[in-house]
């Protein structure tokens, strides 16, 4: 087993394609780390650099204590599982699993022993004599997993291994991968674009965008304390609601005001924003944090008015799509109840559920501050925010 260390890693493909930008990441021995982000954000490139399948343009990569930038993939003690299984079609399951060991001239008896161990681990014994074309997609991916674990490598690398499976198999195989990790405790780096996979599998989740790391944190923290507006919007389904507006001070108390709403903010953690009224700000709140009330029950400073557009029943819960008077769309996840399109409602947002982000315009697309930073998270970490509109 081994730790993996990425220091200032960048990848520039020919044509000035900046796929990965100045990536710093320390992956603990035994950790299950997930790289997540939209298509094209640099996840596979990162993984392929760790595997040695892609040159590193800049930076230092270590596996354990060893710098491996120039080490051949075969000598890095890693095993990789791909989306498309990549099994040898002309070989049986047994031979597919034994292949890498044979190449390494492992003694025959030991190969048999390790193949038997891996097959048992994954319930593959009945399939050992078959060829890949006689297997279902799910079985093929189990064989690919078997082929990875049989070598007992120091690090597992997974690139979207579940993407070709149907929904049910995806969930089953996900649980299988989690169990394998619990039993083997092998350092694992797992790439997915699927936020649910990221949240359920990762000890730590690294959210990437445009080649940058936006946040590396526990699954719960990325959800509850997203570092910026990108992370906030990427994790969570339905996604977080955003309202553009500005800060205001009413009777000495800090609030958020937009065309549709005036909402009270928790004051205690926002001392440093005092005197920043009229500062442009984006308020964010998650769908499950909203409460729908009768318009007559509206509460000053806590509710905004909206009209129901569509409801999507999901069994015990439902998603309610709303529109404010100024035309902003919001979504609320709430307990299932009869609610008709066209009905006017008061949407309650409690102060503690409001995230505050800098507007997007700050910074530019070439820098990681492009997406509005989460001001409360910065404050909780003691990071000073430049004042924008200090009052006299």
Ligand X SMILES: Nc1ncnc2c1ncn2[C@@H]1O[C@H](COP(=O)(O)OP(=O)(O)O)[C@@H](O)[C@H]1O
Strands 212-217 and 241-250: unpaired
Quote the least distance from Cβ 20 to Mg ion, whole Å.
12
Binding site for ligand X (CB under 6 A): 13, 17, 19, 37, 39-45
> Does 215 contact Mg ion by CB under 5 A?
no
Quote the least distance from Cβ 192 to ligand X, whole Å.
10
> Does 83 contact Mg ion by CB under 5 A?
no
Rounded Cα distance between 236 and 220, Å, is 11
Quote the least distance from Cβ 38 to ligand X, whole Å.
7
Query: Which residue, 40 or 275, is less far from Mg ion as judged by CB?
Result: 40
> Does 114 contact Mg ion by CB under 5 A?
no
Quote the least distance from Cβ 235 to Mg ion, whole Å.
18
From 2, 9, 41, 44, residue interacting with Mg ion (rule: CB under 5 A): 44
Residue span binding Mg ion (CB under 5 A) among the ranges 36-44, 176-184, 271-279, 313-321: 36-44
Backbone torsion region of residue 105, taken as left when φ is above 0, otherwise alpha when ψ lies between -120 and 50, otherwise beta: left
32-36 sheet: strands from edge to edge: 78-81, 155-159, 187-192, 32-36, 204-209, 212-217
Cβ atoms of 354 and 285 closer than 8 Å: yes
Query: Which residue, 9 or 135, is less far from ligand X as judged by CB?
Result: 9
> Does 5 contact Mg ion by CB under 5 A?
no
Q: How far is CA 317 from the centre of its chain?
A: 24
Rounded Cα distance between 122 and 127, Å, is 11
Quote the least distance from Cβ 127 to ligand X, whole Å.
30
* Residue closest to Mg ion when measured from CB atoms: 44
**Which residues make Cβ contacts (< 8 Å) with residue 285, sequence separation at least 6?**
240, 241, 349, 353, 354, 355
Rounded Cα distance between 67 and 324, Å, is 56
Query: Which residue, 47 or 97, is less far from ligand X as judged by CB?
Result: 47
Question: Site residues (CB under 5 A) for Mg ion?
Answer: 44
């Amino acid at each position: 087993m081994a730790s993996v260390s990425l220091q200032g890693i960048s990848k520039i493909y020919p044509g000035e394609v900046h796929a990965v930008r100045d990536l710093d990441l320390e992956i603990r021995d035994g950790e299950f780390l997930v790289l997540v982000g939209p298509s094209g954000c640099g996840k596979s490139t990162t993984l392929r650099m760790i595997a040695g399948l892609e040159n590193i343009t800049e930076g230092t990569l270590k596996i354990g204590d060893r710098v491996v930038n120039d080490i051949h993939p075969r000598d890095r003690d890693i095993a990789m599982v791909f989306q498309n299984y990549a099994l040898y079609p002309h070989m049986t399951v047994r031979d597919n699993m034994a292949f890498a060991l044979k190449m390494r001239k492992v003694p025959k008896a030991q190969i048999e022993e390790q193949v038997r161990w891996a097959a048992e681990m994954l319930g593959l014994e009945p399939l050992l004599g078959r060829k890949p074309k006689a297997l279902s997609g799910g079985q093929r991916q189990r064989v690919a997993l078997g082929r990875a674990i049989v070598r007992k490598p120091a690090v597992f690398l997974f690139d979207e291994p579940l993407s070709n499976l149907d929904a049910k198999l995806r969930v089953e195989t996900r649980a299988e991968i989690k169990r394998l990790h619990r039993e083997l405790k092998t350092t694992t780096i797992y790439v997915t674009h699927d936020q649910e996979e990221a949240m359920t599998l990762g000890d730590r989740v690294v959210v990437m965008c445009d080649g940058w790391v936006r946040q590396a944190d526990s699954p719960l923290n990325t959800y509850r304390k997203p570092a910026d507006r990108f992370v906030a919007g990427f994790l969570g389904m339905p996604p977080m609601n955003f309202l553009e507006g500005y800060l205001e001070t009413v009777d000495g108390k800090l609030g958020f005001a937009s065309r549709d709403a005036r909402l009270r903010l928790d004051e205690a953690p926002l001392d440093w924003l005092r005197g920043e009224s009229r500062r442009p700000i984006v308020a964010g709140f998650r769908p499950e944090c909203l409460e729908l009330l009768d318009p007559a029950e509206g509460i000053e400073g806590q509710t905004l008015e909206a009209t129901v557009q569509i409801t999507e029943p999901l069994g015990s819960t439902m998603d309610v799509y709303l529109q404010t008077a100024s035309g902003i769309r919001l979504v609320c996840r709430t307990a299932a109840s009869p609610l008709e399109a066209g009905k006017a409602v008061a949407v309650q947002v409690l102060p503690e559920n409001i995230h505050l982000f800098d507007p997007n315009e700050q910074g530019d697309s070439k820098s990681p501050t492009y997406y509005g930073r989460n001001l409360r998270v910065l404050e909780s970490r003691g990071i000073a925010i430049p004042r924008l509109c200090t009052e006299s």
